[in-house]
């Protein structure tokens, strides 16, 4: 039976978040298409020029890297547009998407730090430092991989083309009309994929599928004998609830003197690693599938999770042995 409580739950958990997501996607898409219509890709890529040159990446990758500092959706839309127009191939699309790990981390860094610092105090600097180090490691790894996987870029023609374009001036009206036309075409495709996938994820969550998976993961932690019993509680909350729930538990245990900084940091890193894949499906896949198409979205999320989990595990293992 359709009750007011059910209506409120659907509004707060499905309709409003979906409206917000589509609004953010629309803004990101408009920004990305307008920049592309103005041919500003090479100018925006200047910020990441040394890295893209070292990694044999294109100006599109550099512009996406720079945009990721402000909007992950705009950054991904740039890559999707370039891939559809065959300006970059699938290999460079994957590498460019992974290349954005560092600016994407910077985008969320203030929120993460100002949530962790009041709760776990000095441990926040170590935890945030380790996750920051993981993001740097991912970006540097992609630069090295792309250096050997991609051919060297021909920059001479690009520079002369950019200079010629600068002399000819900017057609703001034409660029705006072009971006609106492309926006209307792409937003229909994005809505067609994003809305049903988001609804499906909502129904799966309401049916308890994600909760069952998360609890199952939290229960099988016996393969980590060095974790204390208190750590299990932090990890379980981190996986089954939200990041702030695990932090709140860690803060309480730290205040009581039940756990050391080292134990809390290791517990949070383990919780981060174990919760990462399921949260990627719940939060990333709906909008990734609209921007990149479902099959490509699945591949990109898979590669992102492999690199993210691998880098966090590397930092965690390093911290474990250094602090023994």
Domain residue ranges in the chain: 39-169, 208-324
Mean pLDDT computed over 132-146 = 92
The contacts of residue 254 (CB under 8 Å, 6+ apart) are 120, 121, 123, 261, 264
Confidence (pLDDT) at 130: 94
Question: Nearest Cα to 62, choosing from 98, 99, 36?
Answer: 99
Confidence (pLDDT) at 163: 45
Helix, coil or strand: residue 287: helix
At 164, is the pLDDT very low, low, confident or very high (cuts 50, 70, 90)? very low
Confidence (pLDDT) at 65: 87
- What would the pLDDT profile of 39-78 be if each residue is shown by its tens digit? 665 566 566 788 888 888 888 888 888 888 777 888 898 8
Confidence (pLDDT) at 91: 92
Q: H or E stretch including 279?
A: helix 261-279
Question: Nearest Cα to 85, choosing from 224, 6, 18, 185?
Answer: 185
Confidence (pLDDT) at 220: 61
Confidence (pLDDT) at 42: 58
Mean pLDDT computed over 252-257 = 76
Q: What angle do CA 233, 239, 245 make, to 5 degrees?
A: 65
- What would the pLDDT profile of 181-218 be if each residue is shown by its tens digit? 777 777 777 777 777 877 877 787 777 776 676 566 55
């Amino acid at each position: 039976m359709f009750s007011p409580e059910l209506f409120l739950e659907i509004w707060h958990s499905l309709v409003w978040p979906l409206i917000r997501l589509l609004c953010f996607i629309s803004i990101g898409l408009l920004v990305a298409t307008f920049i592309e219509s103005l041919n500003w890709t090479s100018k925006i890529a200047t910020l990441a020029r040394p890295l893209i040159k070292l990694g044999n990446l294109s100006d599109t990758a550099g512009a996406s890297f720079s945009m990721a500092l402000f909007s992950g959706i705009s950054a991904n839309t740039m890559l999707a547009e370039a891939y559809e127009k065959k300006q970059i191939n699938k290999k460079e699309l994957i590498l460019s998407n992974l290349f954005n790990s560092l600016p994407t981390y910077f985008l969320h860094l203030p929120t993460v730090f100002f949530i962790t610092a009041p709760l776990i105090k000095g441990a926040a600097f170590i935890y945030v430092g380790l996750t920051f180090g993981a993001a740097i490691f991912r970006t540097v790894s992609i630069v090295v991989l792309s250096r050997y996987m991609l051919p060297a870029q021909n920059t001479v023609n690009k520079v002369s083309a950019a200079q010629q374009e600068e002399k000819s001036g900017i057609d703001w009206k034409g660029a705006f009309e072009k971006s609106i036309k492309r926006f209307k075409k792409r937003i229909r495709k994005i809505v067609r994929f994003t809305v049903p996938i988001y609804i499906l994820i909502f129904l799966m969550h309401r049916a308890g599928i994600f909760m069952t998976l998360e609890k199952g993961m939290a229960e099988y932690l016996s393969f980590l004998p060095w974790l204390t019993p208190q750590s299990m509680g932090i990890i379980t909350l981190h996986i089954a609830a939200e990041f702030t729930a695990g932090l709140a538990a860690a803060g309480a245990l730290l205040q009581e003197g039940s756990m050391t900084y080292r134990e809390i940091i290791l517990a949070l890193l383990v919780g981060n690693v174990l919760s990462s894949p399921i949260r990627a499906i719940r939060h990333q896949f709906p909008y990734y599938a609209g921007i990149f198409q479902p099959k490509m979205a699945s591949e990109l999320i898979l590669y992102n999770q492999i690199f993210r989990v691998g880098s966090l595990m590397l930092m965690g293992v390093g911290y474990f042995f250094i602090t023994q």
